[in-house]
């Protein structure tokens, strides 16, 4: 256990150095991209949806940070196994650690954007209270969900290299289906419920309910969020367990 933790730490260090290339601005740059996305969306979509949606900037931003974390974590996660093929074909190491360490840097990135997010909340006059602590729940769920998705994708990417392109298509579709810049209120209730099939939408919704509405979602909604996270994590774990010693045939 101690040994694995040591390896995990060293891998995290490696990933950080790789990502920021030892530049001072490194972290700053990774904040810039979500902010620019936010700016463009705000400029463009305020015209269409902004007038009817309260706290529209925060509404957009909630969707953006959750989706951005999911995208970054899973995209980088997908590479993690194949990228380290040279290592695990020569040395017997626990392979999931490559993915976990990659996710640490994505999570840190998310934490940074979260700080900016709260700054925007203050600027927009959102009232802060103890209910904000409930945000820890979707964050934990998202972390598990991202890990699970990463496990599945990284395994698939070893077997099928075109998963990369297919996943890009999938992400584009997901972006439009996650109600980032529009509200689902104008859909009939049946359709609104269909949105709940999208886990990313659920986590975004959780954020919005807590931050914008100042409420805590229902118990059923909590269970739904946990269900998605746990399910993906289990599937991913099962795949890794099953194929642990088969990956090396494919690299």
Partner 1 sequence: MSILKADNVSIRYITGDFKDIGLKEYVVRRLQGRYKVTEFWADRHVSFSLERGDMLGIIGTNGAGKSTLLKAVSGIMVPTEGHMEIHGSIAALLELASGFDGDLTVRENTYLRGAMLGYTRKFMDEKYEEIIDFAELKDFQERPFKQLSSGMKSRLAFSIACLVSPDILILDEVLSVGDGAFRKKSGNKMREILNSGVTGILVSHSLSQVREMCNKILWLDHGKQIAFTDEVGLYCDAYEEFLLTKKLPQSREQVEQLARALAVRKQKEKEKEEHTEAQRLEAVLEEGTSEAAVQAALSILNKKRPDLLAKTTDSPAQVTADIPQAKG
Q: Which residues bind partner 1 (CB under 8 A)?
A: 2-3, 6-7, 9-11, 13-14, 17-18, 21, 86-93, 156, 159-163, 166, 245, 248-250
The structure tokens listed for 89 are 């074909």
Which residue, 7 or 230, is less far from partner 1 as judged by CB? Answer: 7
Q: Is 149 exposed, middle or buried (0-12, 13-18, 19+ CB in 10 A)?
A: buried
Smallest gap, in angstroms, from Cβ of residue 91 to partner 1? Answer: 5
Smallest gap, in angstroms, from Cβ of residue 145 to partner 1? Answer: 22
Which residue, 87 or 123, is less far from partner 1 as judged by CB? Answer: 87
Which residue, 13 or 213, is less far from partner 1 as judged by CB? Answer: 13
Smallest gap, in angstroms, from Cβ of residue 114 to partner 1? Answer: 28
Smallest gap, in angstroms, from Cβ of residue 159 to partner 1? Answer: 8
Which residue, 63 or 77, is less far from partner 1 as judged by CB? Answer: 77
Q: How many CB atoms lie within 10 A of CB 211?
A: 25
Q: What distance in Å separates the CA atoms of residue 197 and residue 192, rounded to the nearest whole number?
A: 10
The structure tokens listed for 170 are 């999938």
Of residues 104, 195, 178, 206, the one with CA closest to residue 146: 104
The structure tokens listed for 20 are 């920021």
């Amino acid at each position: 256990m101690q040994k694995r933790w040591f390896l995990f730490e060293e891998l995290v260090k490696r990933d950080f150095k790789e990502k920021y290339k030892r530049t001072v601005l490194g972290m700053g740059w990774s904040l810039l991209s979500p902010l620019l996305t936010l700016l463009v969306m705000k400029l463009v979509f305020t015209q269409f949806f902004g007038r009817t949606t309260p706290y529209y900037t925060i509404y957009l931003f909630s969707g953006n940070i959750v989706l951005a974390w999911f995208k970054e974590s899973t995209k980088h996660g997908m590479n993690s196994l194949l990228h380290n093929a040279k290592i695990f074909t020569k040395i017997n190491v626990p392979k999931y650690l490559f993915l976990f360490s990659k996710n640490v840097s994505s999570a840190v990135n998310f934490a940074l954007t979260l700080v900016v997010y709260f700054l925007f909340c203050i600027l927009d006059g959102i009232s802060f209270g103890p209910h904000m602590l409930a945000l820890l729940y979707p964050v934990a769920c998202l972390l598990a969900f991202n890990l699970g998705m990463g496990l599945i994708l990284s395994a698939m990417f070893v077997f099928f290299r075109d998963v990369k392109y297919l996943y890009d298509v999938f992400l584009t579709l997901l972006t439009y289906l996650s109600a980032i810049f529009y509200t689902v209120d104008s859909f009939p209730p049946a359709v609104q419920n269909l949105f709940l099939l999208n886990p990313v939408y659920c986590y975004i919704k959780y954020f919005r309910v807590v931050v914008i509405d100042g409420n805590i979602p229902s118990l059923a909604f909590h269970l739904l969020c946990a269900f998605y996270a746990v399910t993906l994590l289990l599937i991913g774990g099962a795949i890794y367990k099953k194929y642990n010693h088969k990956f090396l045939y494919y690299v």
